[in-house]
Amino acid sequence: MQEREPVIGGLYRHFKNKLYQVKAVAIHSETKEKMIVYQALYGDFAVYVRPYDMFMSEVDHVKYPDVKQRYRFEQVFFDEDSGYVSVDEKGNEDSLDNEPVILPVFDEETEAVDDRLMKFLDAEGYAQKLEVLSELRDNLDDKLIDAMAVSMDVEVLPGTIDERYASLRHCIQAHAKYECTRLR
């Protein structure tokens, strides 16, 4: 079986049912151990680091017998018909019982799904992010703008919703303009 590889920018569900985005694979400066840098997509959007092997490992089903998820972190994608669906190592929709897994994005108070944020996160490229942002213009709030900004590693300063919308839009346009010339 081919070893799983993390996808930078990919969305992953922890087996305790919280959503994260992988930001990078890093190397510990002292031990040279590979680490995964990932960010919570809920609460205060904290950034974490975890050893690569632990991040990619299977769930200890002896310790957690009721968990159906195979891996500690499983990559997910959004399917309009099924919601958030796990992806197995072959890229097929999968969960241990072969049922689509609907993945919530946690809101601190309600733990309800915010499909607006996920639509933005799932957008491929800056042009599509701009389209999604435009579609959502009348339904934006500060929390959503903050979450979108965090997902792009930018900061949108306080102000009215219209000012913050314009600021985020400007940031996305700047990324779109200069990304193609960035050295890799």
In CATH, 1-113 is 2.30.30.320: yes
pLDDT at residue 53, as a whole number: 93
Report the alpha-carbon angle 65-50-96, nearest 5: 30
- pTM to 2 decimals? 0.51
CA-based nearest residue to 40, from 60, 69, 11: 11
pLDDT digits 0-9 by tens, 74-122:
988 766 565 566 665 334 444 333 333 333 344 455 555 577 888 888 8
pLDDT at residue 135, as a whole number: 93
pLDDT at residue 162, as a whole number: 92
**What are the extents of the domains in the chain?**
1-113, 115-179
98: its two tokens: 């072969």
First to last CA, the chain: 31
119: its two tokens: 């639509």
Mean pLDDT of 37-59: 90
pLDDT digits 0-9 by tens, 4-47:
788 888 889 898 888 898 999 999 999 999 999 999 887 788 89
